[in-house]
Chain A
């Protein structure tokens, strides 16, 4: 099956700086890569996703890049704000199941 690895497990940045979270996957059949944000005590919620026919996608301060050859994808958050503090999960799907990374706890220091 698919194996998704996510790094780093924790990340602290100063407010206004950028944050980057990286994931790798093993199954070349994976073609959909969502990112979820989970605030403390809340459910995971989709913040951005990318499909395998696209190399980059941006939504305001959030962007995701995908390198199919290297089998890795990354989440980029620019101009970080305290409300960006949360746990972020990457995932990969080849059609039937979603495989999640182990999460990155992001802390934005005011």
Chain B
């Protein structure tokens, strides 16, 4: 779905480095999410935002921070990367979760490797 884009698509970094992953969407959705995917663990929520002034922690927010710069942009930062943050990261957007049209649309993913 080209309406949700992520940069970079792949990143290799070293322990202790600061990393920012960016997500942009043209779907006009208010709600944006960051997930990480690990083999056998499914998709786990890191942070989510319902509008520019709203930021909420997910189940695995430790070691991560986010910034909602605009309705269309949601960035995920790793302040000091560690090897167990090696994973596939997905950004997603949705409209009204749980009511009406609540489909989540995922970006293409960012594969992050921390050495």
Contacts and interface: CB of A to CB of B under 8 A. Distances in A.
Interface of A: 1, 6, 9, 30-32, 34, 42-46, 49, 89, 91, 93-103
Interface of B: 1, 33, 35, 40-45, 48, 50, 56, 58-59, 90, 94, 97-99, 102-109
Contacts of A89: 42-43
Nearest to A98: B104
Contacts of B56: 96
Nearest to B45: A97
A29 to B, nearest CB: 9
A94 B98 contact: yes
Contact of A93 (B40, B90, B102, B107): B102
25 contacts: A31-B98, A31-B99, A34-B104, A42-B108, A43-B106, A43-B107, A43-B108, A44-B106, A46-B104, A46-B105, A89-B43, A91-B43, A91-B104, A93-B97, A95-B97, A95-B98, A97-B45, A97-B48, A98-B94, A98-B97, A99-B45, A101-B42, A102-B40, A102-B41, A103-B40
Contact of B59 (A1, A42, A46): A1
Contacts of B107: 43
Contacts of A32: 97-99, 102
User: Nearest 8 A-B pairs (CB), nearest first?
Assistant: A95-B98, A102-B42, A43-B106, A100-B43, A100-B42, A32-B98, A93-B98, A103-B42
